[in-house]
Amino acid sequence: MKQRPFGSTGKFVSEIGLGSWQLGNEENWGSMTESEGINIVDKALELGCNFFDTAPNYALGKSEEILGKALRGKRDKVIISSKFGHQDNGEINFDPNEIEKSVDKSLKRLQTDYLDSILLHNPPFQYLNGNMQHFEELENLKKEGKIAAYGASVDTSEEMFEVIEKTNSQVIEVMFNIFHQDTAKAFKAAHDKKIALIIKVPLDSGWLSGKYHAESTFTDIRSRWSRDIIHRRAVMLEEVNNIVEPNQSLAISALQFILAHPEVSTVIPGAKNIRQLEGNISAAQGTMDLKTVEKLKAMWENHLKDNGLPW
């Protein structure tokens, strides 16, 4: 597993990290027991993954608890990033006076005394400028040693530019994949400020795994997609399949497209089982050729730039 700089922090992260939303999650994407979650983390470590992304609301705290148990005694070998705003009781609260309390609870669940990074978890846009108390609180926690870096998890280039230009953030987590390329407009600006980029939703909530089609139905959080949106995704998937390498899985191609952007620090697909984990991590063993990358960029420019697919 190759590693990349984690922005200006002096740390290095595996190109493929583990998005831990599914750890212990019993409501969406199938259920996962604690032992299954620990096994996935153990296997990720064995395969060279050292970056783990989580949040208090992932499985209502269970994700952090599983990571804490799995990473016990291995803390010096891993990079852990968590979030603030979506709480362990399922509520959303961005009160800056609650940040330290939330971090302390995360530290307890993760069985550690510091977080490598903490991110505002998709906050309202007005909270992303450097004048808000949130970033003052985060800076204080950094000085105390409870966090080593901070930033925000966002979805758009507009939000990225706000964080880049108006805060001292060292980390941004952002949605970016073959179907959602708007955020790449801010990659250079982030790189110029040595801000680490964590890429979330790399497989478009599983669609870029290639498992779904125009007649697919969903009963989990993806049930928000209308039949029209599902049909459009199926049409665009055909476009992608006509471009990428036909002899490897679509998921691997989707991850390699992201890693073809040198500004990216790490990409964090989730995994429901060991087989998915191994497939995701295998993407780091190869690269996507520049010609294919440019074709996928052109596809987005021509078909999705001005008529994007809602997440």
Q: What is the CATH number of the domain that holds 130?
A: 3.20.20.100
Per-residue model confidence (pLDDT) at position 28: 54
Q: Which tokens go with 10?
A: 């002096």
Task: Give residue 78's pLDDT band: very low, low, confident or very high (50, 70, 90).
Answer: very high
Per-residue model confidence (pLDDT) at position 27: 62
Task: Give residue 156's pLDDT band: very low, low, confident or very high (50, 70, 90).
Answer: very high
Residue 242 belongs to some domain of the structure: no
Residue 286 belongs to some domain of the structure: yes
- Structural domains in the chain (count): 1
Taking the C-alpha atoms of residue 48 and residue 17, their distance in angstroms, rounded to an integer, is 9
Cβ neighbours, 10 Å, residue 163: 28
Residue 257 belongs to some domain of the structure: yes
Task: Give residue 26's pLDDT band: very low, low, confident or very high (50, 70, 90).
Answer: low
Q: What is the pTM of this model?
A: 0.96
Residue 216 belongs to some domain of the structure: no
Residue 180 belongs to some domain of the structure: yes
Residue 161 belongs to some domain of the structure: yes
Share of the chain above pLDDT 70, in %: 98
Higher pLDDT among residues 302 and 224, named by residue: 302
Residue 61 belongs to some domain of the structure: yes
Mean pLDDT over residues 266-290, rounded? 96
Per-residue model confidence (pLDDT) at position 221: 76
Contact 165, 132 (CB under 8 A): no
Q: Smallest Cα–Cα separation from 178: which of 227, 246, 239?
A: 239
Residues near 261 by beta carbon (within 8 Å), at least 6 away in sequence? 176, 184, 187
**Mean pLDDT score of the chain, rounded to an integer?**
94
Residues near 224 by beta carbon (within 8 Å), at least 6 away in sequence? none
Domain residues for 168? 3-211+248-292
Residues near 63 by beta carbon (within 8 Å), at least 6 away in sequence? 20, 21, 22, 23, 24, 25, 37, 54, 55
Residue 235 belongs to some domain of the structure: no
Question: Is 29 a residue whose pLDDT tops 60?
Answer: no
